[in-house]
Amino acid sequence: MAVQNVMVIGAGQMGAGIAQVFAQAGFDVKLNDIAEDSLTKGYQGIEKRLDRQIEKGRMTEDDKNQALNNLTTTTNLNEASDRDLVIEAVVENMDVKTSVFQKLDEITPEHAILATNTSSLPITDIAAVTNRPEQVIGMHFMNPVPVMKLVEVIRAIQTSDASFQTIQEATEKLGKTAVEVNDYPGFISNRVLMPMINEAIYTVFEGVAKPEDVDSVMKLGMNHPMGPLQLADFIGLDTCLYIMEILHDGFGDSKYRPCPLLRKYVSAGWLGKKSGRGFYVYD
């Protein structure tokens, strides 16, 4: 099956970014959210990003108009009834996601593939609440979606080879690289990244070095574009804690135990850039 019609559920930063790249690649895209103001904000964000590409000479006004012509917004989930692929990008909560997938299972045509953009929740559990588990898959886009070239394509234990092949081909049409991943806590990206961030936090917690010195070592010594503590601030310390807890619960291994300092910062409301303070202070 070739994917032509796509719906993205959730008009936040990730969902709007996913809708944008599909629209730019020529797919017919519906962006869905339960809140009209979220849809407006998401659509305006897409327009601004496309305008920046024009300013930089990376696309023309015609390219922008064509992408926007491929994109519509809706608060009506029933409009998924003609979609080949639906990608869920709602809040990272299993109850919310399974509720969405149960509804989609009833609404979408039999051939449709249902994908989730979850960064850490088990795809196998999400697939199990549907009557088409072989057509459920993970598509974990990296942030910011229009810039980052990687998509983790995560196979639930039930996912069929045909579903994986379809999603791999659709991902390549976006100009991105699809990496095949099996369904384990954290997949690849967060299983590797989050323990590194957590260990960086431990070095601050134990008084080994200040945050800026830890980041300098990783940037100047390891050639990372951003230090782990600055990156944690940009991701959100609450998100980092949540993923570490998923890893710790999923594997039952003490090496994934969240650093007490991370817990303390989150309890204090120091969540990073979005709250104005994390390991650094932001205006």
Domain at 232, CATH number? 1.10.1040.10
Give the integer Cα–Cα distance in Å for 221 and 153.
31
Annotated active-site residue 163? The verdict is: no
Annotated active-site residue 180? The verdict is: no
Give the range of the structural domain holding residue 27, as residue numbers without chain letter: 5-182
Annotated active-site residue 224? The verdict is: no
Task: Identify whether 283 is part of a domain.
Answer: no
Task: Identify whether 70 is part of a domain.
Answer: yes
* Location of structure tokens 């990687």: 150
| Local confidence pLDDT in tens for the 283 residues of the chain | 899 999 999 999 999 999 999 999 999 999 999 999 999 999 999 999 999 999 999 999 999 999 999 999 999 999 999 999 999 999 999 999 999 999 999 999 999 999 999 998 999 999 999 999 999 999 999 999 999 999 999 999 999 999 999 999 999 999 999 999 999 999 999 999 999 999 999 999 999 999 999 999 999 999 999 999 999 999 999 999 999 999 999 999 999 999 999 999 999 999 999 999 999 999 8
3 state DSSP class of 129:
coil
Task: Identify whether 281 is part of a domain.
Answer: no
Q: Which residue among the candidates 119, 120, 163, 198 is catalytic per the annotation?
A: 119
Q: Name the token pair of 177.
A: 């690289």
Closest to 145 measured CA to CA, from 166, 122, 174, 167: 174
Annotated active-site residue 93? The verdict is: no
Domain count within the chain: 2
Closest to 166 measured CA to CA, from 85, 105, 107, 81: 85
Task: Say whether both 159 and 263 belong to one domain.
Answer: no
Task: Identify whether 282 is part of a domain.
Answer: no
Specify which residues 73 forms β-bridges with. 31
Of 182, 203, 231, which closes a domain?
182
